[in-house]
Amino acid sequence: MGGLMKKENGVKKGLGALLVTVLFVYAAAAADTPANVAGSWQISVTGDAGTAEQTIVLTQDGNKITGTFKGPRQSGPLEGTMDGNNIKFHVKTRVPLDYNGTVDGDTMKGTLTGRGKTGNWTATRAK
């Protein structure tokens, strides 16, 4: 009977280790899943050059994002990437703009640079 108990304990330990491994792999995979940013966003910018309201429309394929940008004085295409909840995109306009930030559901915030000037931005997904 002692051998049977040892065997059962060994099976339980093995299953426990397997369960921990599966949960760890699942959690790691979930952390790598990019936030969903597809849709239309209203952006408010404040910084060295003043304030502005902008609109971006994003499409997403995994961690790659593309879309369009429209600001008060220029518009153009954009390309970028997602890494978990981190977003980074480059706007190809007369004055190129680079945005870096974080996504939290239907809001985003971060910093931007363009022509040597910097600023902060916040965005809300349009409903």
Look up residue 71 and give its two tokens. Answer: 């600001």
Dist CA 42 CA 30 (whole Å):
28
- pTM score: 0.76
pLDDT tier for residue 15 given thresholds of 50, 70 and 90: low
pLDDT tens sequence across 37-77 = 999 999 999 998 889 999 999 999 999 999 999 999 999 99
**Beta strands 86-91 and 107-114: pairing type?**
unpaired
Average pLDDT, the chain: 87
Closest CA to 60 of 92, 36, 76, 83: 36
8 A C-beta contact, residue 115 and residue 95: yes
Question: Taking the chain, what is the end-to-end CA distance rounded to the nearest angstrom?
Answer: 66
Would you state the pLDDT for residue 76?
A: 98
